[in-house]
């Protein structure tokens, strides 16, 4: 089992159901004692549910623990250090870069039994939660108190706060409200070896000692395991107005993004879809964008009634002066849903074009969006590929989906080539390879292209400081060589 | 010189003008070669300007370098490692916790010759600056582009961005806009030993690798020396409205703070002054608060004309319903200045009461402000002291000034006792010992009271990882024993 093979980087499918050595039996028994028999999964059927995530890759864990307390998590990390097996913390498996996959086998720790909202403090606009809390469920619970936790990843109906924190997830609202990092002010974590530690504060400000909280946010489960998170909240926005803008010119749409923000307008959504994305969703939606649509922008403003009315008017006037698009305003909740349909249908619909996608969440300075999109169009033509671009234009975070059929070797190779050229171009434009999905395993071989050699070396030393035996989520972020 | 004594924790006043050993002469010559003769200060008169900061403490540096380039900074850190002398990065010396003081002698690096605004990119709302840029001067430069960099420490007319980043400075606007950490997205730093490294991004989002940028922000110059900072900016708020609220009950004032925010009102200033602070400034201001004033709140809203008008109306209605204070709205710029006079006069005026102050910037959860203020009143009575409380009530960051005459030993001892009891109470209320000033030397002996022992040990290990020879700003943050 993992005791023997952990360092050999191999995938031990179904090994537990085969004959175990005495040593392996002993470790399994210890893990069972640590979390209780009911919280340990070793059957292949159970384990297989934890073998994949949204990256479409598959690695079987040797066992899965579902601890109920921080003490159980600590006991597991203590055992992992003693017996040298990998531990892979897992949120809800909605990550797209393989962050939660047991690429070297080992023990997956799931948090579906640590999903309590421990505290909602409306006076101080603070919540304390366990890592397994589903982001959307937290948002619903907060609504009753007139509060909101803004980060809204597309997977919010099933992703967890712990996973969001591990990857520093974003979402459409980031353009106005920022990302996960901006809302986590304190943590309780378990370190490799099993020590429990508290970081940060439960106040709006705090500068005592080094900022361990933000060092852990976005560290993709490689430095520490979260067992509690302290969140800062905002008053719930009273209402929202939704606009859809259709353009017959892609360049006009992408240019408008920077102009909207420069004009001091502060939308809480500023999403973009290119022509291919629009075509792909035509069959999935109950309304039809104008025939010659080259790009769509979905723009929303939130706040109290008066504020939203005023922003909406200002925005409509602003767009009107541009005279380069058609503007549609949603009249009610039903119409808002209808307009969002287009944006939300892209992910499932694009798989009608090709069975697989290479999906990247690159970021460029907003003013370079037109250049980036133009480049992907060129790439598609040169390499004979279908490439969609859409996403969070407001913060320059463009989702690029390169559609391929993996059975078609030439197409797949071209897809990989396109990804490489895309990354090169993004970096040349002053951008970054990931805005919200992290590095995981799918981007680790490109890390050195973005990071300065010294920074990469410092990060490796940090990993070694926290996790000297490379037990916590090994094989992630850093390239193997 | 420092070569010999650096590790002995002694202060070498005036040592350079005395007889130097051959070794010391050699080091001085090397430093001179590194930065150029014109950029090295060794005369006692020059050095003494760098021996103090706003903490009222005094430690003489052995020499002061004023580098002009990152390469010169790198050369200095390389020499420091080779010859084992302390290096103390210094912004404008406006810090109140002694962060910029050469407590073990050594070489102070000042940044007054690295103060260029390298780039303002209005399309992407990004600026790239050198660390010596004065915060207020940057804000003025950005205004011309219709942009703003929100953090506004009280010292913004002379403090520098580099120092702000080192301490993670805040200011009145933090209640709406956040602190320095929220606006620095990338850095260029020199590490102990002299390696130059880039961190972060120049885009709105970015999650590639560990968040070194935010690890360095607030690290008080103990991990790396900043040579360039990439800042995210916001569109300049078009206008502002200023209110002054006078209360005859302290409890009513402090309670209103949490109520204002819970009501979804989002002021950009929510400052508070207690009765003693009001009394102290009466002679300094051109208007007079109502006679029985027990507390003042200064409240501002910013944004575009329509938004501000609407927020102001909503706020006035809200306050009117409370019926527990008198409300005054500034009619014009002159009146805004007049109202701010009160808040800005506290610091100089309070020294009329006693020649010295023990000034702390503690933070508590907003709902605990009444308890904290009540506690300081009790402390004042019990220990026969004058204690003022004022500051950033909106984020629970209360400045507590304990006034003492250091010549009066009993009073000074009582002041120190009050500080200890205050810190205990703040932590018991779920607060933190510093919201924006950092730990430096004045709070280091209290660090272990706030931080978990494991966190403290991890921070010490981080310091050792980055600075194994303890060359960079030694004696700061961590208690000596």
* Best B164, B208, B310, B457 residue to mutate vs chain A (most A CBs within 10 Å): B208
Q: Which chain B residues have a beta carbon less than 8 Å from that of A205?
A: 170, 174, 179, 363, 392, 395-397, 432, 435-436
Note whether ipTM > 0.90 here.
Answer: yes
Q: Of A235, A256, A284, which residue constitutes the final position of a domain?
A: A235
CATH number for the domain that contains residue A121:
3.30.465.10
Report the distance separating Cα B441 and Cα B97, nearest Å: 6
pLDDT for A481:
61
The count of C-alpha atoms lying within 13 angstroms of the C-alpha of A431, restricted to the half-sphere facing its C-beta, is: 27
Residues A142 and A224 occupy one common structural domain: yes
B285 lies in which domain range?
237-352
Report the distance separating Cα A187 and Cα B90, nearest Å: 31
Q: Of B178, B208, B235, which residue constitutes the final position of a domain?
A: B235
The two tokens of residue B473 are 């700003």
Residues B189 and B280 occupy one common structural domain: no
Report the distance separating Cα A57 and Cα A176, nearest Å: 33
Please indicate whether, in this complex, the C-beta atoms of B203 and A430 are within 8 angstroms of each other: yes
Residue A378 lies in a domain: yes
Q: Which chain B residues have a beta carbon less than 8 Å from that of A181?
A: 211, 214
CB contacts < 8 A, A to B, total 269
* Best A204, A215, A302 residue to mutate vs chain B (most B CBs within 10 Å): A204
pLDDT for B93:
96
CA-nearest residue to B454 within chain A is A197
Report the distance separating Cα A325 and Cα A204, nearest Å: 42
Residues B314 and B413 occupy one common structural domain: no
- Residue A209 Rama label (left phi>0; alpha psi -120 to 50; beta): left
The two tokens of residue A51 are 């073998």
Residues B290 and B301 occupy one common structural domain: yes
CA-nearest residue to B368 within chain A is A124
Compute the Cα dihedral for A312, A318, A320, A322 and give only its sign. Answer: negative
Q: Which chain A residues have a beta carbon less than 8 Å from that of B209?
A: 439, 447, 450-451, 455-456, 459, 477
The two tokens of residue B207 are 């999650």
Looking at the complex, report in whole angstroms how far the Cα of residue A17 sits from the nearest Cα belonging to chain B. Answer: 37
* Best A74, A174, A192, A206 residue to mutate vs chain B (most B CBs within 10 Å): A206
Q: How far is CA B240 from CA B264, B301, B308, in A?
A: 18, 6, 7
CA-nearest residue to B311 within chain A is A307
Using only C-alpha atoms, chain A has a radius of gyration, in whole angstroms, of 23
Looking at the complex, report in whole angstroms how far the Cα of residue A112 sits from the nearest Cα belonging to chain B. Answer: 25
Q: Which chain A residues have a beta carbon less than 8 Å from that of B433?
A: 208
| Nearest of B110, B176, B171, B101 to residue B135 by alpha carbon | B171
**With 80 as the cut, is the pLDDT of residue A38 above it?**
yes
Mean per-residue pLDDT of chain B: 93
Worst-scoring range by mean pLDDT, A172-176, B189-193, B226-230, B335-339? B335-339
Continuous H helices in A135-248: 135-143, 161-167, 174-177, 212-216
Task: Provide the number of structural domains found in chain B.
Answer: 3
Residues A347 and A415 occupy one common structural domain: no
DSSP-derived letter for residue A242 is E
Residue B29 CB partners (closer than 8 Å, separation 6+)? none
pLDDT for A348:
87
Q: Which chain B residues have a beta carbon less than 8 Å from that of A128?
A: none
Buried b / exposed e along B427-460 (16+ C-beta atoms within 10 A): bebbbbbbbbbbbbbbbbebbeebbbeebbebbe
Please indicate whether, in this complex, the C-beta atoms of A204 and B462 are within 8 angstroms of each other: no
pLDDT tens string A290-333: 889 999 999 999 999 998 999 999 999 999 999 889 999 999 99
pLDDT tens string B88-106: 999 999 999 999 999 999 9
Residues B130 and B150 occupy one common structural domain: yes
Residue pointed to by tokens 């979390």: A35
pLDDT tens string A329-373: 999 999 999 999 989 899 889 999 999 999 999 999 999 999 999
CATH number for the domain that contains residue B371:
3.30.70.2740
pLDDT for A376:
96
The two tokens of residue B467 are 């600075």
**With 80 as the cut, is the pLDDT of residue A85 above it?**
yes
Residue A378 CB partners (closer than 8 Å, separation 6+)? none
Report the distance separating Cα A101 and Cα A86, nearest Å: 11
DSSP-derived letter for residue B124 is T
Q: Which chain A residues have a beta carbon less than 8 Å from that of B175?
A: 204
CA dihedral A345, A348, A354, A355 (to 10 degrees): 180
Worst-scoring range by mean pLDDT, A392-406, B2-16, B50-64? B2-16
Residues B329 and B428 occupy one common structural domain: no
With cut-offs at 50, 70 and 90, classify the pLDDT of residue B19. low
Report the distance separating Cα A203 and Cα B431, nearest Å: 6
Residues B296 and B339 occupy one common structural domain: yes
Nearest residue, CB atoms, A199 vs list B307, B455, B461:
B455
Looking at the complex, report in whole angstroms how far the Cα of residue B315 sits from the nearest Cα belonging to chain A. Answer: 13
Residue A38 lies in a domain: no
- Residue B457 Rama label (left phi>0; alpha psi -120 to 50; beta): alpha
**With 90 as the cut, is the pLDDT of residue A197 above it?**
yes
Average pLDDT estimate for B171-184: 97
Residue A157 lies in a domain: yes
Nearest residue, CB atoms, B433 vs list A208, A465, A477:
A208
Please indicate whether, in this complex, the C-beta atoms of B397 and A205 are within 8 angstroms of each other: yes
CA-nearest residue to A238 within chain B is B264
Q: Which chain B residues have a beta carbon less than 8 Å from that of A122?
A: 262
pLDDT tens string B251-278: 899 889 989 998 889 999 999 999 999 9
**With 70 as the cut, is the pLDDT of residue A11 above it?**
no
CA dihedral B39, B41, B42, B48 (to 10 degrees): -160
Residue pointed to by tokens 């008080």: B220
State chain A's maximal CA–CA distance in angstroms. Answer: 77
CA-nearest residue to A364 within chain B is B203
**With 80 as the cut, is the pLDDT of residue B438 above it?**
yes
The two tokens of residue A29 are 């028994």
Looking at the complex, report in whole angstroms how far the Cα of residue A1 sits from the nearest Cα belonging to chain B. Answer: 30
Please indicate whether, in this complex, the C-beta atoms of A395 and B204 are within 8 angstroms of each other: yes
For residue A188, the SS3 value is strand
For residue A104, the SS3 value is coil
| Nearest of B322, B320, B305 to residue B241 by alpha carbon | B305
Residue B131 lies in a domain: yes
Average pLDDT estimate for B235-254: 94
Our CA angle for A362, A366, A369, nearest 5°, is: 65
The count of C-alpha atoms lying within 13 angstroms of the C-alpha of B374, restricted to the half-sphere facing its C-beta, is: 12
Nearest residue, CB atoms, A204 vs list B197, B264, B396:
B396
The two tokens of residue B52 are 């103090």
Nearest residue, CB atoms, B432 vs list A206, A365, A437:
A206
Nearest residue, CB atoms, B462 vs list A204, A210, A459:
A210
With cut-offs at 50, 70 and 90, classify the pLDDT of residue A19. low
Report the distance separating Cα B64 and Cα A286, nearest Å: 71
Continuous H helices in A129-233: 135-143, 161-167, 174-177, 212-216
Please indicate whether, in this complex, the C-beta atoms of B447 and A208 are within 8 angstroms of each other: yes
Report the distance separating Cα B433 and Cα B443, nearest Å: 8
Looking at the complex, report in whole angstroms how far the Cα of residue B71 sits from the nearest Cα belonging to chain A. Answer: 16
Residue B318 CB partners (closer than 8 Å, separation 6+)? B260, B263, B265
Nearest residue, CB atoms, B208 vs list A215, A263, A433:
A433
pLDDT for B481:
61
Asked if B307 and A310 count as a contact pair (C-beta separation under 8 A), the reply is yes
Q: Which chain B residues have a beta carbon less than 8 Å from that of A435?
A: 203-207
Asked if A29 and A1 count as a contact pair (C-beta separation under 8 A), the reply is no
pLDDT for A291:
86
Asked if B257 and B250 count as a contact pair (C-beta separation under 8 A), the reply is no
Q: Which residues are bridge partners to B327 per DSSP? A: B245
Looking at the complex, report in whole angstroms how far the Cα of residue A452 sits from the nearest Cα belonging to chain B. Answer: 6
Residues B348 and B243 occupy one common structural domain: yes
Average pLDDT estimate for A379-406: 96
**With 50 as the cut, is the pLDDT of residue B10 above it?**
no
Residue B420 lies in a domain: yes
Of chain B, the percentage scoring pLDDT greater than 70 comes to: 96
Q: Which chain B residues have a beta carbon less than 8 Å from that of A396?
A: 124, 203-205
CATH number for the domain that contains residue B286:
3.30.70.2190
Looking at the complex, report in whole angstroms how far the Cα of residue B439 sits from the nearest Cα belonging to chain A. Answer: 6
pLDDT tens string B48-89: 999 999 998 999 999 999 999 999 999 999 999 999 999 999
Continuous H helices in B62-160: 70-83, 135-143
Angle of helix A70-83 relative to helix A22-35, nearest 10 degrees?
160
Average pLDDT estimate for A265-283: 93
Higher-pLDDT residue of B399 and B5 is B399
Residue B374 CB partners (closer than 8 Å, separation 6+)? B250, B251
Looking at the complex, report in whole angstroms how far the Cα of residue B139 sits from the nearest Cα belonging to chain A. Answer: 17
Report the distance separating Cα B319 and Cα A281, nearest Å: 50
Q: What's the pTM value of the predicted model, to 2 decimals?
A: 0.95
Nearest residue, CB atoms, A363 vs list B205, B209, B304:
B205
Nearest residue, CB atoms, A197 vs list B206, B214, B458:
B458
Residue A281 lies in a domain: yes
Q: Which chain A residues have a beta carbon less than 8 Å from that of B189?
A: none
pLDDT tens string B328-387: 999 999 999 999 988 989 988 999 999 999 999 999 999 999 999 999 999 999 999 999
Q: How far is CA A375 from CA A323, A400, A426, B307, in A?
A: 26, 11, 10, 39
Q: Read out DSSP for B213-263? A: HHHHTTSTTSS-EEEEEEEE-EEPP-EEEEEEEEES-HHHHHHHHHHHHHT
Residues A268 and A198 occupy one common structural domain: no
| Nearest of B464, B466, B448, B446 to residue B456 by alpha carbon | B448
Residues B245 and B227 occupy one common structural domain: no
Nearest residue, CB atoms, A203 vs list B205, B432, B443:
B432
Q: Which chain B residues have a beta carbon less than 8 Å from that of A119?
A: none
Average pLDDT estimate for B461-473: 97
Please indicate whether, in this complex, the C-beta atoms of A432 and B206 are within 8 angstroms of each other: yes
Report the distance separating Cα A298 and Cα B479, nearest Å: 53
Mean per-residue pLDDT of chain A: 93
**With 70 as the cut, is the pLDDT of residue A437 above it?**
yes
Asked if A317 and A311 count as a contact pair (C-beta separation under 8 A), the reply is no
Q: Which residues are bridge partners to B398 per DSSP? A: B362, B391
Please indicate whether, in this complex, the C-beta atoms of A363 and B204 are within 8 angstroms of each other: yes
Residue A469 lies in a domain: no
Residues B261 and B152 occupy one common structural domain: no
Our CA angle for A380, A382, A388, nearest 5°, is: 5
Buried b / exposed e along A22-50 (16+ C-beta atoms within 10 A): eebeebbeebbebbeeebbbbeeeebbeb
Q: Which chain A residues have a beta carbon less than 8 Å from that of B462?
A: 210, 462, 465
Q: Read out DSSP for B412-469? A: HHHHHHHHHHHHHHHHHTT-BS-SSS--TTTSGGGHHHHS-HHHHHHHHHHHHHH-TT
Continuous H helices in A130-263: 135-143, 161-167, 174-177, 212-216, 250-262
For residue A106, the SS3 value is coil
Our CA angle for B248, B380, B387, nearest 5°, is: 70
Of chain A, the percentage scoring pLDDT greater than 70 comes to: 96
Phi, psi at A287, each rounded to 5°? -130, 170
Report the distance separating Cα B377 and Cα A419, nearest Å: 64
Report the distance separating Cα A282 and Cα A274, nearest Å: 13
Looking at the complex, report in whole angstroms how far the Cα of residue A419 sits from the nearest Cα belonging to chain B. Answer: 16
Q: Which chain B residues have a beta carbon less than 8 Å from that of A198?
A: 452, 455
The two tokens of residue A462 are 């940090």
Residue A49 lies in a domain: no
Of chain B, the percentage scoring pLDDT greater than 90 comes to: 87
H or E, element range at B336: helix B333-349
Report the distance separating Cα A187 and Cα A201, nearest Å: 8
Nearest residue, CB atoms, B205 vs list A179, A191, A208:
A179
Q: Of B329, B352, B375, which residue constitutes the final position of a domain?
A: B352
**With 80 as the cut, is the pLDDT of residue A237 above it?**
yes
């Amino acid at each position: 089992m993992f005791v023997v093979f952990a360092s050999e980087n191999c995938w031990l499918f179904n090994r537990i159901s085969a004959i175990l050595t005495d040593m392996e039996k002993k470790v399994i028994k210890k893990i069972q004692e640590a979390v209780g028999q009911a919280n340990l999964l070793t059957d292949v059927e159970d384990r297989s549910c934890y073998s994949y995530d949204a990256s479409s890759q598959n690695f079987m864990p040797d066992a899965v623990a579902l601890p109920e307390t921080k003490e159980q998590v600590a006991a597991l990390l203590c055992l992992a250090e003693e017996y040298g097996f990998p531990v892979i913390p897992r949120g809800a498996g909605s990550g797209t870069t393989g962050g939660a996959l047991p690429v070297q086998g080992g023990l997956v720790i799931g948090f579906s039994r640590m999903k309590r909202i421990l505290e909602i403090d409306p006076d101080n606009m603070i919540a304390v939660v366990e890592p397994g809390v589903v982001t959307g469920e937290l948002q619903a619970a907060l609504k009753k108190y007139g509060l909101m936790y803004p980060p809204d990843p597309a997977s919010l109906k099933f992703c967890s706060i712990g996973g969001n924190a591990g990857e520093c997830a974003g979402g459409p609202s980031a353009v106005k409200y920022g990302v996960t990092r901006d809302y986590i002010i304190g943590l309780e974590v378990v370190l490799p070896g099993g020590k429990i530690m508290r970081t940060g504060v439960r106040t709006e400000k705090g500068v005592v000692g080094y900022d361990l909280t933000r060092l852990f946010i976005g560290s993709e489960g490689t430095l520490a395991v979260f067992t509690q998170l302290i969140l800062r909240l905002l008053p719930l926005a009273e209402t929202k107005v939704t606009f859809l803008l259709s353009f017959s010119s892609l360049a006009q749409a992408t240019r408008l993004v920077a102009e909207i923000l420069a004009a001091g307008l502060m939308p809480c959504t500023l999403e973009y879809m290119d022509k291919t994305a629009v075509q792909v969703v035509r069959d999935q939606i109950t309304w039809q964008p104008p025939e010659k649509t080259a790009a769509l922008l979905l723009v929303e403003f939130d706040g109290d009634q008066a504020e939203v009315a005023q922003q909406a008017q200002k925005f409509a006037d602003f767009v009107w002066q541009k005279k380069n698009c058609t503007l549609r305003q949603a009249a009610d909740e039903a119409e808002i849903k209808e307009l969002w349909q287009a944006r939300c249908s892209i992910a499932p619909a694009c798989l009608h074009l090709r069975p697989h996608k290479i999906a990247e969440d690159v970021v460029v300075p907003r003013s370079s969006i037109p250049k980036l999109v133009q480049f992907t169009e060129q790439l598609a033509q040169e390499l004979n590929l279908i490439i969609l671009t859409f996403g969070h234009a407001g913060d320059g975070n463009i989702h690029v989906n390169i559609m391929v059929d993996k059975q078609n070797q030439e197409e797949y190779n071209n897809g990989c080539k396109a990804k490489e050229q895309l990354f090169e171009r993004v970096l040349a434009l002053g951008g970054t390879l990931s805005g919200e999905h992290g590095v995981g395993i799918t981007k680790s071989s490109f890390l050195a292209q973005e990071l300065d050699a010294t920074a990469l070396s410092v990060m490796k030393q940090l990993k070694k400081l926290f996790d000297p035996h490379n037990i916590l989520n090994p094989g992630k972020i850093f390239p193997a060589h």
